[in-house]
Structure formats: structure tokens, C-alpha cells
Amino acid sequence: EAQVTQNPRYLITVTGKKLTVTCSQNMNHEYMSWYRQDPGLGLRQIYYSMNVEVTDKGDVPEGYKVSRKEKRNFPLILESPSPNQTSLYFCASSFGGHTEAFFGQGTRLTVV
């Protein structure tokens, strides 16, 4: 089954404790991206990757890191999480930035 898998689905952590949210897709998509969703602000792009070893900033990259060492995986790293990073995060993949995007089930992160 074609899918984008995020883990964990829910995470509560403390300020400053490094964390990684994993994202994996099995559709051989070149393009992967991370979004955060906050009430009233829609889906805002954090980072995107057009292929292995190629990543670029989205609209809200501050406080986040990503890596794309393999085509199927695109982890989101928060080196020192802060409460303003409490949000719902979605990973998405597609063949290109302009083609149909498939979303993971989301990760609800709370930073206390």
C-alpha cells in the first residue's frame, strides 16, 4: 500500500530536549516536505527536499533541521525544542513540488 509513515503520532517533550520525527515513503517520490499546522494559519512549509542530499528552507524553517540521506526518508529534527514549536506536523511526498502530495498521518507535538 502506497503510504507516508510518520512517527511518533503523539509526543510530549520538555524544552531543550532534542527530538526527531521520522518520515518514510514507499512511492519512490523525489520530493518530500514538512509542514506545521496551527489554528488559523493553515499549513506552513518548514523544509522541503527535491531529491537525495538536496534540501531547502520553506517559509518557517527557524528551529528545525532536516536531512535527506536516502530517497525514502526525510526526518525532521528539533535540536532544542521550545514551546512555540508545539504544533501538528505533517510530512508529505510527491513526484514534484507541483504534483499531487501524499500526507502522513501527522505528529502532534507538545513542548512544555
Task: Name the grid cell of 42.
Answer: 493553515
Please state the closest distance from residue 108 (CB atom) to other proteins, in A: 10
Which of 16/96 has CB closer to other proteins?
96
CB of 80 to other proteins, least distance (A): 26
* Residue 93: CB minimum distance to other proteins, A: 11
- 63/106 with CB nearer other proteins: 106
Cis previous bond, 8, omega within 30: yes
Nearer to other proteins, 80 or 95 (CB): 95
Give the nearest distance from C-beta 89 to other proteins in angstroms: 11
What's the rounded Cα separation, in Å, for the pair 5 and 41? 24
Which chain residues interact with other proteins by CB under 8 A?
33, 35, 40-45, 48, 50, 56, 58-59, 90, 94, 96-106
Query: What do you get for the CA distance between the two ends of the chain, in Å?
Result: 36
- HEC string of 32-80 equals EEEEEEECCCEEEEEEEEEECCEEEECCCCCCCEECCCCCCECCEEECC
